[in-house]
Structure formats: C-alpha cells, structure tokens
Structure 1
Amino acid sequence: MEQQIFVRLKTEAPPTGTAPFDWTEVSRLRQEKQYTVTKDVVATYIRQAPDDPFVNYQMAWCHDSLGEESAAVPYYVQAITPGLIPPYLQQQAYIGLGSTYRALGRYAEAEETLTAGLVRFPNHPVLQTFYQN
C-alpha cells in the first residue's frame, strides 16, 4: 500500500496549491534517500505557504523519515486540520500522526487521532490495524 501511495504521489502534481511546489525535485530526492536535503527543500515551501496542507504533510513526512517524530507532529496536525488535501493524503496524515503519537508515548492522543481517522475513513485497513494494536 505504501508503494502504491508513493507512486500516486510521484505522478501527481500537488493537490492544493498556495505554494509553487516542485514535486519532481522532492520526489527525486526522496528516491535517492536524501532526506535531509528533501527537508531543506520542503522548508523553503513551508516559509512561502505555512498554511498549505499539502506542504505541511510533506514536511511531516520529512521529519518522520529522519526519526524526528516530535518535529513531525505540528505539520501533521496542520495537514489534517484544514481538510484540503485529497483523501489518500488525509488517510496517510492520520496514520502518520497517530503512529507518531504512539512512538512518542502519547497514547491518548494516538487513540484520539486514529479514532478520528476511522470516523472519517471507516474502511481504511491500515487505520483499522493501527487502531487495533
């Protein structure tokens, strides 16, 4: 499923757009596993459009990829709150935030996030799995 989402992300332009986002560059850097450089590039977009949910999701992903879970949290929250990104990214944001809260030992917030994700996407198998564990 993760690869399927990556392929979809790789081939689509950003779904929202207050920031001029060069998805091709970000995708290339990720494929090359240059996560720190990817984060630096996405940070330039965050400065241009701090409220853009797509850009916030990308920054959360960057922090998670680098093991910076605490830093990922506010970006996941910002990505979910506006509800402006497509459903497949919203699902990933709920999963990422819930998983991150669990990794940080913030179990009540993890449960709240995963429950909210399940309410919004009741048939999503990964949300169901995380919630059951």
Structure 2
Amino acid sequence: MKQLEIAIELRKEGKLQESNEILINLANAHPNDSIINYQCAWSFDVLGLEKNAVLYYEKAISIGLPDKELRGAFLGLGSTYRVLGQYKKSKEVFEKGLAKFTQDRAIKVFYAMTLYNLNEYSRAMEILLYNLAQTSSDDNIKNYKKAIEFYSDKLDEIW
C-alpha cells in the first residue's frame, strides 16, 4: 500500500505529524488491517500522544501481526501503559510478550522498568543485571560476568 509506505518514510524523515495524519486516515479506511493499526499506534507514540496509541496497539495485537511487528506492538503497548502509570496492565502486556518472545532483551528491559514501578525491585534488578552481563562489550563487565550473573538474583542475601 503506497500510502502506508509514504507514512513510514515521513516518520523516518522526522515529519511525524504528517505521517500520523496519513496513518489515522488509513486506519479509518482499513480498520481491520493490523499493520496499519500498529503503525498508527507507533505514530502516536513518537508524537508523545501515548493515550491515543493504546487503542491502535490493542487492536493490532488482537487482529494478529507477523512476529516482527508483534514484538514491537508488545513493547510499544507495554511501554505506553507504563508511562501512563498503568503498571499492572504494562506488566500483563510484557508478560504476554515474553511468553511468546522469551529471549527478547528489549522487552525484558522494559519489563524490568515496569517491575521497578510496581516496587518489585529485586526482580527488576535481577533482570537488568543478568542482561547487562549477557550483552555488555565492556571488558570490566565481561571480567565479572559470572559474578554479576550469580548475584543478580541474590541481592538481598548476606553471606
């Protein structure tokens, strides 16, 4: 669909409002197109209009998306709920995303932020420390990788 490609290109060029307007029109014309709904949600997110994004993310997920877009939709919706202060909904969305995409580190990191907001500090730190140890290219982190991983879920233990 040519209009969808134009809207995505406009977003890439930083013409966020123009992109959003096209995507709103496309979503109205094609309400059951999951990709359009996903792209429309994303367009609201980049404008800082998270409340407007929720409905489009939810619709895109419920209609069904290819895995690449589904990952982005879970991340976008979970993050949107988090910034709106709807932490329990955020947690639910991230847990659904992690059930499908068990190794997705971006979802894990955003999930940890939500856990922090829910005062689940130990679990949040465990996730962050483990992912830091697994992904860091910093030599000093790599030197202590095993220790960081070992202690990631034992922060409250006294030896």
Higher RCO (C-alpha 8 Å, min separation 6):
1
Determine the structure 1 residue equivalent to 2:106: 126
Q: Distance in 2 between matches of 1:50 and 1:21?
A: 17
Of 10, 25, 30, the match for 2:11: 30
Structure 2: distance between partners of 1:62 and 1:27: 9
Q: Which runs of 5+ in 1 are unaligned?
A: 1-19
Query: In structure 1, how many angstroms separate the alpha carbons of the residues matched to 2:52 and 2:94?
Result: 19
How far does residue 31 in structure 1 lie from its aligned partner after superposition? 2.2
Q: CA RMSD in A?
A: 1.2
Kept in 1, the 8 Å contact 2:81–2:90? The answer is yes
Asked whether the equivalents of residues 21 and 45 of structure 1 are also in contact (C-alpha less than 8 Å), the reply is: no
Q: Which residue of 1 aligns with 2:26?
A: 45
Structure 1 or 2, whichever has the larger Rg, is 2
Aligned-pair distance for 1:21?
4.8
- Residue 100 of structure 1 corresponds to 80
Ranges of 4+ aligned residues in structure 1 off by more than 4 Å: none
- Structure number with the higher helix fraction is 2
Query: 2:33 is matched by which residue type in structure 1?
Result: D
Change (3 A) 1:43 1:21: farther
Whether contact under 8 Å (1:43, 1:59) holds in the other structure is yes
Instruction: Flag structure 2 segments of 5+ consecutive residues without an equivalent.
Output: 114-159
Distance 1:106 1:45 in 2: 28
Letter in 2 for 1:50: P
Asked if the contact 1:53–1:79 (Cα under 8 Å) also holds between the matched residues in 2, the reply is yes
Q: Work out the CA distance in 2 between the residues paired with 1:95 and 1:79.
A: 13
For normalisation by structure 1, the TM-score amounts to: 0.80
1:42-83 Cα shifts (integer Å, max 9, x gaps):
112112111211000011011001100000000000111122
